[in-house]
Amino acid sequence: MMIVKRVLDVEPETFAEGVHIRWVLSKKRDGVPTFSMRHFTLKKGASIKLHSHDWEHEIYMIKGKLRVRSGDDEAVVEDGHAIYIPPNKPHSFEALEDTELLCFIPCKGEP
Amino acid sequence: MMIVKRVLDVEPETFAEGVHIRWVLSKKRDGVPTFSMRHFTLKKGASIKLHSHDWEHEIYMIKGKLRVRSGDDEAVVEDGHAIYIPPNKPHSFEALEDTELLCFIPCKGEP
């Protein structure tokens, strides 16, 4: 059955200081089979510390400005940018402005 | 290695009359392992006819207004909506305004 949601209607959960996550489409809640859609908001100055896992990220920047590090790579991204972070690469995020983004992962990365 | 792209810098391909697709992140071009990020533009009045395949869609509406049909379900969606269309459900799209969206599929759906 088709699922339609307004992303901002999904209940946000605290992910880190100044960072909220919305599980928009997930295996656990919605039964999607392959990959999960999450929406993040980061307040200016908020960050997600260096961490690593054996699944990738595909990110779409809805708005804001974000410094992304992955291994030895670093970029500052803005509205309309797409970012791919490969599996097993330590990565971190730092919001240079209030930021809103989508971050997709394979369902195996769901908690 | 991290990949960063401005979505609109990706070369568009004609998908149907008034419909363009950009393969933003794909297995074929970028080596992503699980799922592919595509960006679509649909001119007001353009449509994608009823079709079906054995993989799902996860869609994020960046802007515009779209009528979506999937099986017996129908919805009109706008900016900030997320849509899940399950595998093997015949579905179609009709742009009620100029529309821009992301549509993710498992890599097995790449041509």
Interval A79-100: pLDDT, tens: 999 999 999 999 999 999 999 9
Just give the CATH number of B10-109. 2.60.120.10
Which residues of chain B make contact with A62, given a CB cutoff of 8 A?
Answer: 62
Q: What is the pLDDT of residues B66-111, one digit of tens each?
A: 999 999 999 999 999 999 999 999 999 999 999 999 999 999 999 9
Among B9, B34, B65, B108, which would you mutate to test the A interface (most chain A Cβ atoms within 10 Å of its Cβ)?
Answer: B34
Q: How is chain B split into domains, by residue range?
A: 10-109
Distance from CA of A73 to the nearest CA of B (A): 6
pTM over 0.90: yes
Taking residues A104-108, what's their average pLDDT? Answer: 98
Chain B residues within 8 angstroms (CB to CB) of chain A: 1-8, 24-25, 30, 32-35, 37, 55-56, 58, 60, 62, 68, 70-71, 73, 75, 77, 80-87, 89, 91, 102, 104, 106
Contact between residue A85 and residue B16 where contact means Cβ atoms under 8 Å apart: no
Contact check, Cβ <8 Å, A2/B83: yes
Residue A81 to residue B4, Cβ atoms within 8 A: yes
First to last CA, chain A: 24
Those residues whose C-beta lies under 8 Å from the C-beta of residue B81, and which sit 6 or more positions away, are: A4, A5, A6, A7, B60, B61
